[in-house]
Structure 1
């Protein structure tokens, strides 16, 4: 997994007026929290956040959060709030995780290859689950999981139990849960 970093600044004031002033300056209010720490109010540059989210795309949102002179902290983007009309970011939540702490996180699943049923039976592949829940250490979090769908015919499904095994990663969803299906 490639390491993505975002710089943050501490903010002393909270509330809607202070947040509005930050947004007017081109910053986005943020908060970082974790199991063994108090929530901390931060702000991030709106352009840097937009670039980071574009880079993450449809992959796992794990970043290194750098604030001030302290070392970068491994964090998961838990929530990004957007303005409904302006399409600007209004707030972002980060969850800090320790390097030796097992985390449960939704990881995107992508189909790889062209299903036999799509190629030869004029069918389509349907994504039943876009993500699967996994448990692992932060260093083992996959960006995404690639599932080979080339053998699927009409009526076939690929289940969680058939996803590729990844060292240090345990699938938590039901083994019989379908991820992809080929339908006519």
Structure 2
């Protein structure tokens, strides 16, 4: 299931660029929690907490319980992180508040199992991942850490579709139909370039020498 992470925050009173700059001067990252038809909540975060989540990877699929100091704890998704163009430090974070019973739209990574024993791969085929992650709608408490596709005994040329994905946990894909997730592609044939050496030809005699040879 999806990982739930608690993150501490301080409340901010003022909005706008000037207030955001003041927050950054204090060594904090301005952020906002919006959604669920409620008023937006302005907060400030420790930049180390933000970077910790960035380095983990998969943050867009995690649930965050944002604990506002002297305020509520709000269940959210981290939707966007803006970085300084030169320093590569976080400048602003957007969180989406989750309403009870609300389905969330998340991207879940796809993993493939059985590659070591798959006959198609043994014959030289390669797993061609059409989707490295799948965007789905699902219950916040039922988000899988990943979707699994078992390669099984399928050979070269076989395609795996959404119906082949294991343990969907009730997730519904944003893309319609039983679309292709991956296939076992044939090995790439590298054509060797044949370089043909030029045929040496006898040099034509100089005009002067040719004239002397004829009498």
Give me the TM-score of the superposition, normalised by structure 1.
0.85
* Equivalent of 1:164 in 145, 163, 166: 166
Alignment length (residue pairs): 183
Cross-structure match for 1:99: 100
Contact 1:127 1:181 in 2 (8 A): yes
Distance 1:109 1:103, change over 3 A: same
Cα displacement (A) at 1:150 = 4.2
Correspondence for 2:69: 68
Structure 1 position 4, deviation (Å) = 0.7
For residues 149 and 174 of structure 1, the distance between their equivalents in structure 2, rounded to whole angstroms, comes to: 23
Query: Shift in Å at residue 85 of structure 1?
Result: 2.1
Rounded Cα–Cα distance in structure 2 between residues aligned with 1:131 and 1:30:
27
Corresponding residue for 2:145?
143
**Could you report, residue by residue, the CA deviation over 1:85-107 in whole angstroms, capped at 9, with x for unpaired residues?**
21111111110102322223222
Alpha-carbon distance in structure 2 between the residues aligned to 1:153 and 1:24: 59
- Report the Cα offset of residue 118 of structure 1: 6.3
Write the distance in 1 (CA, Å) between the matches of 2:73 and 2:55. Answer: 21
Structure 1, gaps ≥5 residues long? none
| Structure 2: unaligned runs, 5 residues or longer | 188-215
Alpha-carbon RMSD: 2.3
What displacement does 1:63 show? 1.3
Structure with bigger strand share is: 1
Change (3 A) 1:121 1:2: same
Distance in 2 (CA, whole Å) between partners of 1:6 and 1:123 is 45
Bigger radius of gyration among the two:
2
Which residue pairs with 2:132 in the alignment? 130
8 Å Cα contact 2:121/2:184 also seen in 1: no
Note if 1:58 corresponds to 2:58.
Answer: yes
> Residue by residue, what CA displacement relative to the aligned partner does 1:120-146 show, whole Å, maximum 9, x if unpaired?
122322321122232222111222222
TM-score, with structure 2 as normaliser: 0.74
In structure 2, relative to structure 1, the CA distance for the partners of 1:23 and 1:176 (3 Å cut) is same
Q: Which position in structure 2 is the counterpart of 1:153?
A: 155
